[in-house]
Structure 1
Amino acid sequence: MIRSEPVGDDRAGIGAIKSAKRVLEVLELFAERREALGVGDVVEALGYPQSSTSTLLRSLVQLHYLHYDPATRKFLPTMRVALLGSWIHDRLFTSTSLNALMEGLHRATGYTVLLGMQNDIYVQYIHLISGTLGEWYIKPGSLRPLCRAAVGKILLARKPDVEVLGLLRRINAEETSAENRIRPNDLFEDLNRIRRDGYAWTEGAVIPTNGVVAIELPTPPSQPPMAIGIGAANSRVRAERDRLLSLLREAVHPYVQSRPAPSL
């Protein structure tokens, strides 16, 4: 007997395929247009219902695949999208891509290289290369406390104190362990040092045995702020902090003055 209508799990499967298809079509549309697009632009180009288009685009913003500009009410892909396939490009061509930058830091140190951006009250590692020493494994997409991780502190240091205080209140409210709550004075002392020196350094702040040194990765206004760091065992980071910091600064130096996005 041939079924003419999908039922049960078949409908769920078809729905999942339809959703995946729409995500890819939206990303392909951005690749074709090479400009920021509003909900209406996507609806007109792809013929989707406006309500589901708006929901889809905002979901991609929450996942940090799109950036939303409230002033223009338009969306633009983030570098997280570009990183999905950048490794293929890097295999075929010599480039100064962000992925190549991170690979270079990894080759020079053997340590874990982390790229993060803010996701609400957390820092999310949108791309990373695990160290060769097996000391530390982090899954891409992992979330860490914004005010404790070195990469997160770099992002906080860019913000006005009023905004930082609001985030800290929310972070402390979510923290179930009283000993992990951070006092405002302690955080601002740390952030002021980061603003002065241009880097963050933590030991055992998230994982007791591991430390990270991090700096800001210059990005254009169309992209969310990002930070890049190198992580390893506390003793290694402590002993090699100056060298790791020098490598990080050298790696991002080509982008500091003009602050463009690394080519992808």
Structure 2
Amino acid sequence: MATLPDANVKSATRVLELLEFFAEHRRPMSTADVVNELGYPQSSSTVLLQTLMRLRYLDYDRKSRKYFPTVRVALLGSWITENLYSERSLSKIVNDLHARTSATVILGLQNDIYVQYINVCQTPQRRSQLKWYLKPGSLRPLARASVGKMVLSRKPDAELIYLLRRINASETRPENRVSEADLLEEMDRIRETGYSLTTGTVNPQAGVVACLIPSHPQQPVMALGIGAENDELLRNKDRYLQLLREALEPFR
């Protein structure tokens, strides 16, 4: 049997040790905490933490300079126990909504100036019909995707403007840039109604209706959305929205 290089084995071991370290202490940790407690070199610890942050397995608080695992870590093994223990499992909610609607169901959170889809349930027929293949880890524009807009709605206006300027600076096509006035107006509407609806803003053929997931203060803000072809989404918007709200009620 082929053996893995020692460096690969060491890296895999450190990832698991780091996650177990967070599980033991259950609080945010700095790079110095990891270096001191686990004995890793400073450079290796920095690379490991930043890599897991980019993959959205860790969240990083710029003020405290500390890391904390995201719900994506929990989702890795949630399928093992969800039928036995967790009726509130997010992965179970995603699967149940997909079964009830046959639509694409998306769970997402912020990754810098993007929204990252950390759990997606989509049938092969939808992928071919809309040329809209989504997989866990996909990145979409934070200010144009419905799930991203829900995440933004929790932020103060000053932070919204700061993020929007960075987002617009990264857009190579002028028509994809969002004006500050339009975004602030939409945030007011989303905060009032509790949902976001987009059609054709990312994929011209498809749209998404999304709601916020009530979350723990130490977890990044997440949102759950149902996506479909534009006409289908508009026809079923009220039903999809009701299903989302019912699914998220146990978290309130």
TM-score by length of 1: 0.85
Q: Secondary structure at the match of 1:220?
A: coil
State the 1:73 CA deviation: 4.5
2:219 matches 1:223? yes
Given the alignment, which residue of 104, 110, 123 partners 1:112?
104
Q: Secondary structure at the match of 2:117?
A: strand
2:60 matches 1:68? yes
Aligned to 2:165: 169
Which range moves more in the overlay, 209-218 or 46-55? 46-55
Aligned to 2:148: 152
State the 1:70 CA deviation: 5.0
Do the aligned partners of residues 185 and 85 (structure 1) sit closer, same or farther apart at CA in structure 2, a change above 3 Å counting?
A: same
Alignment of 1:3-152 (within 5 A): 13-70=5-62, 73-93=65-85, 95-131=87-123, 133-134=125-126, 135=129, 136-152=132-148
Structure 1 runs (4+) greater than 6 angstroms displaced:
none
Do the aligned partners of residues 191 and 34 (structure 1) sit closer, same or farther apart at CA in structure 2, a change above 3 Å counting?
A: closer
Q: In structure 1, how many angstroms separate the alpha carbons of the residues matched to 2:15 and 2:249? A: 35
TM-score by length of 2: 0.89
2:202 matches 1:206? yes
Q: In structure 2, how many angstroms separate the alpha carbons of the residues matched to 1:36 and 1:165? A: 27
Which range moves more in the overlay, 20-29 or 88-97? 88-97
Q: In structure 2, how many angstroms separate the alpha carbons of the residues matched to 1:70 and 1:182? A: 25
User: How many residue pairs are counted as aligned between the two chains?
Assistant: 246
Q: In structure 2, how many angstroms separate the alpha carbons of the residues matched to 1:72 and 1:191? A: 27
Q: In structure 1, how many angstroms separate the alpha carbons of the residues matched to 2:147 and 2:86? A: 28
Q: Which AA in structure 1 matches 2:133?
A: Y
Q: Secondary structure at the match of 1:37?
A: coil
Q: Which structure 2 residue ranges, 5 or more long, are not aligned?
A: none
Structure number, greater radius of gyration: 1
Aligned to 1:252: 248
Residues 110 and 132 of structure 1 are in contact (CA less than 8 Å); yes or no, is this contact kept in structure 2?
A: no
Do the aligned partners of residues 217 and 94 (structure 1) sit closer, same or farther apart at CA in structure 2, a change above 3 Å counting?
A: closer
Deviations 1:186-221 (A, max 9, x none): 222222111111100011111111110001011111
Q: In structure 2, how many angstroms separate the alpha carbons of the residues matched to 1:80 and 1:140? A: 10
Q: Which AA in structure 1 matches 2:103?
A: Y
Which range moves more in the overlay, 132-141 or 101-110? 132-141
Do the aligned partners of residues 165 and 14 (structure 1) sit closer, same or farther apart at CA in structure 2, a change above 3 Å counting?
A: same
Residues 150 and 214 of structure 1 are in contact (CA less than 8 Å); yes or no, is this contact kept in structure 2?
A: yes
Deviations 1:92-129 (A, max 9, x none): 54532111111111111111110111111111111111
**Identical-residue share of aligned pairs (%):** 54
Q: Which AA in structure 1 matches 2:159?
A: E
Q: In structure 2, how many angstroms separate the alpha carbons of the residues matched to 1:171 and 1:95? A: 37
Q: Which structure 1 residue ranges, 5 or more long, are not aligned?
A: 1-9, 257-264
